[in-house]
Structure 1
Amino acid sequence: MQLVAVILTESNYNQWRRSMSIALSSKLKYRFVDGTCSKPAQNAPLLMHGMRYLEVRYAQSNVPKLFNLRKELSHLEQGSLSLSGYFTRFRTINDELDSVVNKPRCICAQCTCQVNAKLIEIEQNVQLTHFLRGLNDTYTTIRGQILLMKPLPTLNQCYAILLQEENQSNIHNSVSVTNDNIAMSVKA
């Protein structure tokens, strides 16, 4: 049985670990490998030691990669990219950051602190503001409207709003051009 599609190699430990953690958590088995479950009997396989061994062997310092990704994200602007192209590039960098950074999460079964929901909301708001910051000035008005929304939309909802605004602007511009052409035809 294969739990994850990502195969562990010398260079992808963090991505593999994230995929494995998600897979094990979804099957309620993560506690067996992270050490929070009671210690197995003396003659049981040492699963906890296995994960620690893999971490020591394959985990590499991701600080340089993290630095480069954060730098790239901070300098990312829409520029000549289409809205779709900018959104795709932004999401690609954020997905890479997610695979490099091991974010703390509460994994207790009956969590009442809601720390996971709060952390996710903070991450989403940071991503949203980074995305909006890099948009071209043609989106200034809608950007201001989005930032005033309570609660703030998710990044995907924001992208849908921007696409809708862009489509409406394109329709308005094509109607203006058509009216100008009609006016020129009448004068001739």
Structure 2
Amino acid sequence: MTGPADASSSKMPIDITSPFFLNLADHPGQNFVGENLLHDGNYSDWQNEMTNALFAKNKMGFVDGTMPMPKEDSDELMNWRRCNAMVRGWLVSSMEKEIKRSVKYAATARDIWVDLEERFGKENASKAYELRRTITTTHQGNMSISAYYTKLRSVWDEIQYISPTPSCVCKGCKYDVNKEFMKLREKERLYDFLMGLNDEYNVVNTQILSSTPLPALSIAYHLVSQDKQQRIVGMNRHVGGDSAAFQTYGKISPKRKEISQNSTKKRNEDRWCMNCQKSGHTMDGCFEIIGYPEWWNPKQTKSQDSKQKTPSKAATTISLTVLYQG
């Protein structure tokens, strides 16, 4: 009686919330990291993507040790072996060939995970130095504010992974050391961000550094982005104003042109030379008295003589008056 009952209970469907649940589409050859296969230089990125995938599949316990293998007489042993084989296949499918060969004889997914952690996950002084050097040599240049910040953010996250922020393990700690450590790292990132900005942001840079207390990194990013947008709006207004002014200046009405020309002509007619009996100048500027300049064209004199043979009535009156008085 016990045998059939146990057999029927072992065939009961597995709850979808159980770590032993496998979807019909799951298979050991699934690749959860795309082209980002594990190699010697990308363990932190690979580990982050695999952790996310295993959490989504509810299988993280098979690599972090919280789902150890059941005893031989356990009803869950077969389900555990099925899931372990599946997770092991997922890990191997996301590696390059060289690394895949080194773990193909590992018995459990947990063994593979621990082996990779020991080989690639330990803090590497040369890697940490390289990342810090990348931070100090990264400048905005031709990048937008968003692209520049994103590039820094990816390096900061990698530094955080290989050199985690120290944390206090004391129970009931009164000094909240963890929070202070986080503030210190946040301040370092703020300095990194401001140091790499282009010179055009010097004003807002100085304003941020002069603030007490210093703003958070996210607020500083917002202030710099806002400053950029304001300057773009200001430039558009300036260009628009100059263009409108130029167009207004260039569009002189025909009536205004006619008035201007008549005014100039009237001023020239009011000037009369008593020496050569011509309009347009006085005796002080008469070329017959002071001499003709090199650029003077004799034909010009004849042309003006033909046009001005008969002086105006006002000029004749003035001339006769002067002669009479003389």
TM-score scaled by length of structure 2? 0.42
Which of structures 1 and 2 has the bigger CA Rg?
A: 2
Q: Could you tell me which residue of structure 1 aligns to residue 258 of structure 2?
A: none
Q: Output one character per residue of 1:39-85: Cα deviation in whole Å (capped at 9) or x when no partner.
A: xxxxxxxxxxx9xx766566445222211111110101111111111
Is 1:71 matched up with 2:112?
Answer: no
Q: Output one character per residue of 1:139-180: Cα deviation in whole Å (capped at 9) or x when no partner.
A: 000000000111111111100111111111111110001001
Residue aligned with 1:107, SS: coil
Q: Which residue, out of 209, 212, 215, partners 1:150? A: 212
User: Within 2, Cα distance between the matches of 1:146 and 1:154?
Assistant: 10
CA contact (8 A) 1:105 1:116 kept: yes
Q: Could you tell me which residue of structure 2 aligns to residue 134 of structure 1?
A: 196
Residue aligned with 1:143, SS: helix
- Summarize the Cα distance change of 1:10–1:112 in structure 2 as closer, same or farther, 3 Å threshold: farther
Name the Cα RMSD after superposition.
Answer: 3.1
Runs of at least 4 residues off by over 2 Å: 9-17, 53-61, 107-111
Where in structure 2 are the equivalents of 1:79-90 lying within 5 Å? Answer: 79-90=141-152
User: Within 1, Cα distance between the matches of 2:203 and 2:121?
Assistant: 45
Where in structure 2 are the equivalents of 1:151-166 lying within 5 Å? Answer: 151-166=213-228
Q: Could you tell me which residue of structure 1 aligns to residue 187 of structure 2?
A: 125
Partner amino acid, structure 1, of 2:148: Y
User: Within 2, Cα distance between the matches of 1:144 and 1:170?
Assistant: 20
Q: Could you tell me which residue of structure 2 aligns to residue 179 of structure 1?
A: 241
User: Within 1, Cα distance between the matches of 2:45 and 2:245?
Assistant: 63
Where in structure 2 are the equivalents of 1:11-160 lying within 5 Å? Answer: 12=43, 56=118, 59-160=121-222
For structure 1, list consecutive stretches of 5 or more residues without a partner in the other structure: 24-32, 34-49
CA contact (8 A) 2:165 2:182 kept: no
The higher-RCO structure (CA 8 Å, 6+ apart) is: 1
User: Within 2, Cα distance between the matches of 1:91 and 1:151?
Assistant: 23
CA contact (8 A) 1:15 1:99 kept: no
For structure 2, list consecutive stretches of 5 or more residues without a partner in the other structure: 1-18, 21-31, 56-64, 66-110, 251-326
- Summarize the Cα distance change of 1:16–1:61 in structure 2 as closer, same or farther, 3 Å threshold: same
Identity of aligned residues (%): 28
Q: Could you tell me which residue of structure 2 aligns to residue 43 of structure 1?
A: none
Residue aligned with 1:104, SS: coil
